[in-house]
Amino acid sequence: MQPVRWGILATGGIAARFTEDLKLLPDAEVTAVGSRSQLSAEAFAEAHGIPRAHGSWAALAEDPDVDVVYVATPHSAHFAAAALCLRAGKPVLCEKPLTLDLPSAAELVGIAREQNVFFMEAMWTRVNPVIRRVRELVAAGAIGEVTHVCADFGLAGPFPPGHRMRAPELGGGALLDLGVYPVTLAHIVLGTPQSVTAWASLTPEGTDQNTGLVLGYASGAVATLHCGFVGATAQRATITGTDGRIELPPLFFRPDGYTLIRGEDNETVEMPARGHGLVYEAEEVMRCLREGLTESPYVPHDDTLAVMAILDEARSQIGVEYPPTAKEVS
């Protein structure tokens, strides 16, 4: 089996962790890294044993020895980076959230479909083995009809002025960075809600720092979700049904196991993650590429866009707006 040759676009912390996880896969090979800075690309390449360093995104996108590109920029630059690679005919795995809003996310999906090239949001929660097993249990009726999903993702903070989480021009705020996880879990279990209600307190700069959402579903189910950076929360999740519940320990978005509770019966299953937990999305991308797929059945485009629509509606209600410059175009 020929190895899948990866290009890494950007050189930050998440790029480093993803590159380290790729080394766990014998059928993966990192052949190049690209950055807007040649020095940054060379330093990253040297640190991770990557043979080729490009001083521009375009050079990486045009590299004939790269089969797929992992976009690891801050999310304010996702659109520009992913669009460049997709238009060059390169398959793309793009960090979450896909973009800053639904219209730009839909535009990226449109480019991928037009180019007939593989494209996937790097939402590791959807391909995590524990979450996949939980999804199977719910579908099989292990806890009856789901009535409630509860999930929280709060960091201690505080973040100083100038931090990206407080910067509207960088797409800052808890909702896109942290809230995408509880919203995604609710969507995995319950699908698209009938109603979205959101409330938040904002930073002086106008990004959300403590945000709550209530999602209502036609079935009568409810999801109560939280994200923020004003206090460290438990980062747990519970899926409750008419016949029991499933509890996900910290960190619920990349769990190492779950507990199934039905009456007096408790069953805890441990499934330790490999590496940083990013390895599963890399495996899924490579499986899809080898099967000639243009999207993953675990992370389909429509689900990515549905979650972005929820985030857009919540952001509209809490009054967080991003300037036009937040979505880089080149």
Which residue from 115, 74, 59 is spatially nearest to 92, judged by alpha carbons? Answer: 115
Give one DSSP letter per residue of 269-313, joined into a string: EE-PPPTTS-HHHHHHHHHHHHTT-SS-SSS-HHHHHHHHHHHHH
Indicate the pLDDT class of residue 324, thresholds 50, 70 and 90.
confident
Q: What pLDDT shows up at residue 91?
A: 98
pLDDT higher than threshold 70 for residue 118? yes
Q: What pLDDT shows up at residue 325?
A: 62
- For range 118-133, the mean pLDDT: 98
Q: How far is CA 272 from CA 61, 71, 126, 130, 303, in A?
A: 35, 26, 16, 9, 26
Q: What pLDDT shows up at residue 1?
A: 81
Catalogue all structural domains in the chain, each as residue range(s) with its CATH number: 4-123 (3.40.50.720), 129-272 (3.30.360.10)
pTM: 0.96
Evaluate whether 150 touches 246 at the Cβ level (below 8 Å): no
Indicate the pLDDT class of residue 330, thresholds 50, 70 and 90.
very low
pLDDT higher than threshold 90 for residue 329? no
Mean pLDDT taken over the chain: 96
For the question of residue 23 being annotated catalytic, the response is: no
pLDDT higher than threshold 70 for residue 281? yes
Number of CB atoms found within 10 A of residue 196's CB: 20
**Residue pointed to by tokens 């390895």:** 279
- DSSP assignment letter at 51: S
- pLDDT tens-digit map of 152-168: 999 998 899 999 999 99
Handedness of CA 18, 21, 23, 26 (dihedral sign): negative
pLDDT higher than threshold 90 for residue 315? yes
Q: What pLDDT shows up at residue 237?
A: 98
- pLDDT tens-digit map of 47-91: 999 999 999 999 999 999 999 999 999 999 999 999 999 999 999
Q: Which of 23, 90, 96, 327 is catalytic?
A: 96
CA distance 28 to 31: 10
**Residue pointed to by tokens 């520009």:** 80
Evaluate whether 18 touches 42 at the Cβ level (below 8 Å): no
Number of CB atoms found within 10 A of residue 264's CB: 5
